[in-house]
Structure 1
Amino acid sequence: MRFDIISVLPGLLESPFAHSILQRAQKKGIAEIHVHNLRDHSTNKHKSVDDYPYGGGSGMVMMIEPFAACIDMLKAERDYDEIIFMTPDGVTLDQGIANQLSTVQNIIILCGHYKGIDQRIRDLYVTRELSIGDYVLSGGELPAAVLVDAVVRLIPGVLSDETSALSDSFQGELLDAPVYTRPADWKGHKVPDILLSGNTPQIEKWRFEQSVERTRQRRPDLLDE
């Protein structure tokens, strides 16, 4: 699977993609992650990528030409399944979307800044707009890193235990049950007896009940859905 990320601040993405699961996926050849500097596609000598908004108002808007040039260059090399713009007014990223995206081959991710990007890029190129929450960040790089992490960990061969991702919170539209490890007794705080029983059907029943209860307490909206 290949990700091409277009950013005006590519250095922000160096660390997230150089460690842990994302590093492992790249070393195994399961995922390719390429970050492209938007300024390399600027049309003027100052390498600027933003300008004042038509109609007035505060802030700057990212220009159409650099994005279009970079996207066209990438599309000339291969076909892309999705061109995604990370934006606060997009559809909220959830586990279902991550599952869908983990089945495709090539994705472009656009990282915005300032007051956003020229609407014509969104109209002409973008196939999906995603948000990681109802708040505004300084740019789209961190949301892009969140998206890539959420998707890559689902690709077969990335996690050491391939069943682990299937039991994550939200996979069954419920939050995950509490988890424990050794020691079984820590300063009088004990692991629930059922988890030490070896009775797999009863353990799974307990986990499901705990999952439902945790979801009821913390995210009742998921049960409503």
Structure 2
Amino acid sequence: MTQTPPRSHGRKSIAATLQPRELITPTPDLVAAWKAQAITLFPEAFPGPLGLSLTGKALQDGLWQMDAVFLREFGEGRHRNVDDTPAGGGAGMVLRADVMGRALDHARRTMPAAAPILYLSPRGRRINQSLARDLAAGPGVTLICGRFEGLDQRVIDHYGITEVSLGDFVLTGGEIAAHALLDATVRLLPGVLGNAASIEEESFATGLLEHPQYTKPAEWNGHAIPPVLLSGNHGEIDRWRRAQSEALTRDRRPDLWAAHTEATKG
């Protein structure tokens, strides 16, 4: 008989203590928290890096919570099999529809109906800032971390699952992509970042890449901070930063530049 790994949840608050605490402890669902679920064969991968820095503090503070659902617990037979050979033949193995269906039915009982189900897949829509903003504006998300040759298509069709991809490359599983998507989303939740204005100025916020940044010392290894940034003329600084953003986007991301110029025509 296998045992279900501990579910991962955020804390409502942090209190001073002389005793060390674990970052994640089993707690009831937090009513007001943004909720993330990851259906995975490796629940120990969560929260992983999401338990560090600002996302980790927000997890402790109960601004969001993480629930890792162990797919193996819903497997078939004595060995809890979760996959089988592809119908029609071919290499590799495919995650079974009945197994994933049971895992999803279990997971979704505690999720708001409005929270989407996303499957991390190389053939999915590219993850971008717009997707992160949309997720942050909702109640949460259920993520399916793919493995092997993929997931039985009937599950995707039956549950209306959206496939999303980290980029044009293949990973051994969806856990790393899930970390990236959740990090991009959680940092946009109210109260996570100390300076909310930084979100408005960073790359992709306006459809452009962010301008170069500088700080002390004023000169380093013969390289000086551009004089305009030390001028105190905020109008000139804004114009310089805008020009730099446009130049960088035009040079490095012609796809973004084309979309930006099309959007500004009207």
Q: In the alignment, what sits opposite 1:219?
A: 253
| 5+ long unaligned stretches in structure 1 | none
Matches of 2:117 and 2:133, distance apart in 1? 16
Instruction: Give the TM-score normalised by the residue count of structure 2.
Output: 0.82
TM-aligned CA deviation for residue 22 of structure 1: 1.7
Matches of 2:142 and 2:247, distance apart in 1? 39
Matches of 1:92 and 1:198, distance apart in 2? 40
| 5+ long unaligned stretches in structure 2 | 1-33, 260-266
Q: In the alignment, what sits opposite 2:93?
A: 60
Matches of 1:62 and 1:71, distance apart in 2? 13
Alpha-carbon spacing, 1:59–1:128, altered in 2? closer, same or farther (3 Å): same
CA contact (8 A) 2:208 2:256 kept: yes
Superposed, 1:1-225 pairs within 5 Å as: 1-80=34-113, 81-225=115-259
CA contact (8 A) 2:47 2:66 kept: no
TM-aligned CA deviation for residue 117 of structure 1: 0.6
SS of residue in 1 equivalent to 2:197: coil
How many residues matched?
Answer: 225
CA contact (8 A) 2:69 2:107 kept: no
TM-aligned CA deviation for residue 216 of structure 1: 1.0
TM-aligned CA deviation for residue 11 of structure 1: 2.2
CA contact (8 A) 1:84 1:126 kept: no
* Post-superposition CA distance 1:145-177 (Å, at most 9, x none): 111001111111001111111211111110000
Tell me which of the two structures has the higher relative contact order, counting C-alpha pairs closer than 8 angstroms and 6 or more residues apart: 1
Alpha-carbon spacing, 1:13–1:126, altered in 2? closer, same or farther (3 Å): farther
Matches of 1:10 and 1:121, distance apart in 2? 21
TM-aligned CA deviation for residue 75 of structure 1: 2.1
* Post-superposition CA distance 1:62-118 (Å, at most 9, x none): 111221112111222332320000101111011111111110002100011000011
| One-letter identity of the residue aligned with 1:24 | K
Matches of 1:108 and 1:218, distance apart in 2? 33
Greater displacement, 41-50 / 133-142: 41-50
The two structures, once aligned, show a CA RMSD in angstroms of 1.2
| One-letter identity of the residue aligned with 2:38 | I
TM-aligned CA deviation for residue 14 of structure 1: 4.0
| One-letter identity of the residue aligned with 1:108 | T
Percent same amino acid among aligned pairs? 38
| One-letter identity of the residue aligned with 1:100 | D
Matches of 1:15 and 1:21, distance apart in 2? 13
Matches of 1:75 and 1:34, distance apart in 2? 11
TM-aligned CA deviation for residue 9 of structure 1: 1.5
